[in-house]
């Protein structure tokens, strides 16, 4: 009896040790895992429909759906915060955010301070004007009052045409305010990314605005996710972007927002 009791005790003790080991393993992958998906802080300027904008108290848009898909592919959760255009650059630079997402054009000047993901969207600047305007090309902006969003490639393009210190260039915190200036008669034109001005003209027919294209004056641009310099996340997100290119997720999101097939091969060629 005495030997049997000792054996029983040893068996119970062995089972307890085994259970502890199993618990530690489960914590690595089960519901009780201490290694849960990391939530990344993503900053944006939610005033740039259809890429990112407020729908009630929720941030929605093409960029939002794109980032959610890429983050899921890379194994992360994201918290998207409406920080504003200028502040988002500060937050990313100072590593207060993991990356920025706001229809941000990849260019050499920004690459001095930030790292960018693979290109995920092709864009170009276009001109928004009232119906009947005599502005038919970028050259016709000479002598006109032009509204732009401060700190954008639209501003750079207009300053390249009219001069950096030209008093006829009105700079605003976001493109919505620039368009409101045009609508109120305080500007003759707005220069901004093609999709933004095209969507505004289409969705607000009563404003009677038209979009002017000038491919010679405005070069093609590519958007990227913007990371702090040296971020290890860049490589993971580049891989995830290519994965959703290949599995068709990117095309599904693009068609849902724009109704056309994306030129994925063009985007991949920029890598």
Strand partners, 44: 82
Q: From the CB of residue 19, how many other CB atoms can be counted at a distance below 10 Å?
A: 10
203 and 82 share one domain: no
Distance of CA 181 to the CA centre of its chain: 25
Question: Range of 73's domain?
Answer: 39-122+222-269
C-alpha distances in Å from residue 18, one per residue of 9, 15, 24, 28, 55: 14, 5, 10, 16, 52
Q: Which of 261, 259, 264, 265 is nearest to 50 (CA)?
A: 259
137 and 182 share one domain: yes
- The answer as to whether 54 is a domain residue is yes
Question: Which CATH number characterizes residue 94's domain?
Answer: 3.40.190.10
DSSP-H helix ranges across the chain: 2-29, 62-74, 85-93, 108-111, 153-162, 175-183, 194-203, 233-246, 249-258, 264-269
Give me the numbers of helices (H) and strands (E) for the chain, helices first please: 10, 15
45 and 112 share one domain: yes
133 and 197 share one domain: yes
149 and 185 share one domain: yes
- The answer as to whether 101 is a domain residue is yes
Output the tens digit of pLDDT for each of the chain's 271 residues.
333 444 444 444 444 444 444 434 444 433 444 456 799 999 999 999 999 999 999 999 999 999 999 999 999 999 999 999 999 999 999 999 999 999 999 999 999 999 999 999 999 999 999 999 999 999 999 999 999 999 999 999 999 999 999 999 999 999 999 999 999 999 999 999 999 999 999 999 999 999 999 999 999 999 999 999 999 999 999 999 999 999 999 999 999 999 999 999 999 999 9
Q: What is the pLDDT of residue 37?
A: 75
Tokens 């068609």 identify what position? 255
Rg (CA), the chain: 25
Q: What is the pLDDT of residue 1?
A: 39
238 and 104 share one domain: yes
Q: How many domains does the chain have?
A: 2
């Amino acid at each position: 009896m005495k030997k049997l009791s000792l054996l029983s005790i040893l068996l119970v003790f062995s089972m307890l040790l085994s259970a502890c080991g199993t618990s530690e393993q489960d914590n690595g992958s089960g519901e009780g895992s201490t290694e849960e998906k990391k939530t990344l802080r993503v900053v944006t300027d939610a005033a740039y429909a259809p890429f990112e904008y407020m729908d009630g108290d929720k941030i929605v848009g093409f960029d939002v759906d794109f980032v959610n898909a890429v983050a899921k592919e890379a194994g992360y959760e994201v918290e998207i915060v409406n920080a504003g255009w200028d502040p988002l650059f500060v937050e990313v630079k100072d590593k207060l955010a993991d990356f920025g997402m706001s229809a941000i054009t990849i260019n050499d000047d920004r690459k001095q301070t930030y790292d960018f993901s693979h290109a995920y969207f092709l864009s170009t600047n276009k001109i928004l004007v009232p119906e009947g305007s005599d502005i038919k090309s970028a050259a016709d902006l000479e002598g006109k009052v032009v509204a732009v969003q401060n700190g954008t490639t639209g501003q750079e393009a207009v300053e390249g045409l009219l001069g950096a210190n030209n008093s006829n260039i009105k700079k605003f915190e976001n493109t919505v305010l620039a368009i409101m200036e045009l609508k109120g008669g305080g500007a003759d034109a707005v220069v901004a990314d093609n999709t933004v001005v095209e969507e505004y003209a289409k969705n607000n027919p009563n404003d009677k605005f038209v979009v002017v294209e000038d491919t010679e004056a405005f070069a093609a641009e590519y958007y990227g996710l913007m990371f702090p310099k040296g971020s290890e996340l860049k490589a993971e997100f580049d891989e995830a972007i290519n994965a959703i290119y290949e599995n068709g997720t990117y095309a599904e999101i693009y068609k849902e927002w724009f109704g056309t097939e994306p030129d994925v091969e063009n985007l991949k060629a920029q890598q």
